[in-house]
Amino acid sequence: MGEMADNVYKNHLAYPQDRRIWVQVKWPFLAMAAMAAVGPVVAAWVWMLVFGLPEIPPAPRVVAVDDPSGFPAWLRLAHFVNLVLMVLLVRSGLSILMDHPRLYWNDHCTPGSEWIRFTPLTVPKDRVWTAKDDSRYLSPWIGLPGFRHTIGIARHWHFLSAFFWLLNGLIFVGLLFATNQWKRLVPTDLGIFVEAWNVFVHYATFHLPVEPDGFYKYNPLQQLSYFGIVFIVAPTSLLTGLAMSPALDNWAGWYPRLFGGRQCARSIHFLALCSYLAFLVPHVGMVVITGLCQNMNHIVFGTDDTNPAGLVVFLVGAAGIIALCWLAHWISWKRPRWVQMGFRRLLGPLQRTTLNRLASRNQYTRDDISPYFWPNGKLPHSPEWEALGDLRRSGFQLKVFGQVENPVELTLDQLEKLGKREQITLHHCIQGWSGVAQWGGVTIGQLMELVKPLPGVQAVVFRSFGEGHYGGEYYDTLTLENAMHPETLLAWEMNDKPLPDLHGAPLRLRAENQLGYKMVKWIKSVEFVHSEKEVGKGYGGKNEDDEYYPVVANI
């Protein structure tokens, strides 16, 4: 099964007792969704009953010389590649969603404020309920890789697929406008909206109009649908995905606000997925109804005939996609390190040269502080932690050592004398939730001035009194570059009060251009090293070692 699978099974997380699939939408949003789906159909029936069926002029039999004819090879190939990548994106995206199965229109993520949830559970108030407790099981028949707490692998698949999906899309759009194929999709006359409505009235009232031959021309409704998917929904997916990046959000606070905030972007990202599925069902249906073999030949061979060969090849391709899904699942559980390292080598350099260079600077106000901040991680139970008892502030000493000129052990009072920075920032958890809080502490830059790292140091290790999800000392690392960001600090204060145990007392890391799992809680020591490869299993952190998370977590 591989190391990760063994750990999951040993901890009974692959098959938790409660595996129910549940969708609950708050009634105002359910009503809006119903109106959006049913309203146009009702309007079409009213139109037909009052005005009769609209007249639809027959499609021209002669195509102008400069109009597109047929589907060139590049378009057909891009169509198939897009299908493959969308399957991987959707399946991995569902696994990501189920790790925090709630969607919000606010950045605070207070339990009960979600507009939709995919869990039958409400957050209990009589005990500690962490974000990991709240995650749900998803069958690997649906999600990639499926099961529970597999978000590290799911994110690698999602971002790798998204990168090649974007590349494929840019090539497609570039060739679209480099040829006359753009005329298939881009409206050039506002009258198309009236014509599309007329076609919709026919469809909605079960009166199929005479269809033009798609080899030469789409009907108006079809054209607008394709245009919407390619030029509206696809860019929305990309832009809202970027709006969930802690590096981007905390560098340019205006960007997530374009979508209403980080959690609004997450909700819109999900609605974009719903749009793809809403397009896919009638799209496939109309392909079947209007001439399956002929339509398959259009998009497979680029010919306009009714030979069944195109359908056969398409079915073989569909079988290939199913086989690819099985292979992705096998790799995810048998060779998960391949996925992790493949992502690191392909996209890691791009992350480091773009998002990693964005210095966090966005600040919120005290009025923005979230009323609820999700807890995560296991409270420590180590002898060292228990020995501190009620003296976790006065009896604590932070050990700073490694490749430094001046190793030290510092009390919280001594840390405070180095200088205190306060910041109110937005926290991004890898599971999907967020929250705004005030933090007070000393910057890593100030600490470095005291201990003076030696030449060649490239990473900083933060060790915790707590343990990882599958046991063993919890630790994580930051690159020296990230550690030197002005908003990277060791915090002993949260919301103007001493840091509570649940959120990491006596010290926790804040690195606002990174995801939350990098921000180690219950810190006992800081070590400066040449490389993260010298620590643990060499992948950069406890989650990176055991759950295959990325070592750079800025998106």
Buried (b) or exposed (e) across 464-501, using 16+ Cβ within 10 A? bbbbbbbeeebbbbbbbebbebebbbbbbebbeeebee
| Confidence (pLDDT) at 136 | 93
363 to 34, 235, 407, 425: CA distances (angstroms): 39, 28, 33, 6
What are the pLDDT digits (tens) for 356-387? 888 889 999 999 999 999 999 888 988 888 88
What are the pLDDT digits (tens) for 445-497? 999 999 999 999 999 999 999 998 888 999 999 999 999 999 999 999 999 99
CB 172 within 8 A of CB 82: yes
Q: Which uninterrupted H or E stretch holds 450?
A: helix 444-451
End-to-end Cα spacing for the chain: 29
| Confidence (pLDDT) at 519 | 97
Residue 506 carries which side chain, given as an amino acid letter?
Answer: P
| Confidence (pLDDT) at 17 | 83
pTM for this predicted structure: 0.94
Residue with tokens 């791009």: 350
Half-sphere exposure of 486 (CA within 13 A, CB side): 11
What are the pLDDT digits (tens) for 57-69? 776 555 566 778 8
Q: Which uninterrupted H or E stretch holds 170?
A: helix 151-178
Q: Which uninterrupted H or E stretch holds 381?
A: none
Residue with tokens 């690159």: 479
What are the pLDDT digits (tens) for 389-437? 766 667 899 999 999 999 999 999 999 999 999 999 999 999 999 999 9
| Confidence (pLDDT) at 59 | 65
| Confidence (pLDDT) at 1 | 41
- Provide the angle, in degrees to the nearest 10, between the axes of the packed helices 292-300 and 309-334: 60
Q: Which residues contact 97 (CB under 8 A, 6 or more apart)?
A: 118, 270, 432
Q: Which residues of the chain have pLDDT under 50?
A: 1-2, 5, 8-10, 12
| Confidence (pLDDT) at 65 | 61
Domains of the chain with bracketed CATH? 3-355 (no CATH), 363-546 (3.90.420.10)
CB 425 within 8 A of CB 250: yes
| Confidence (pLDDT) at 64 | 62
| Confidence (pLDDT) at 394 | 72
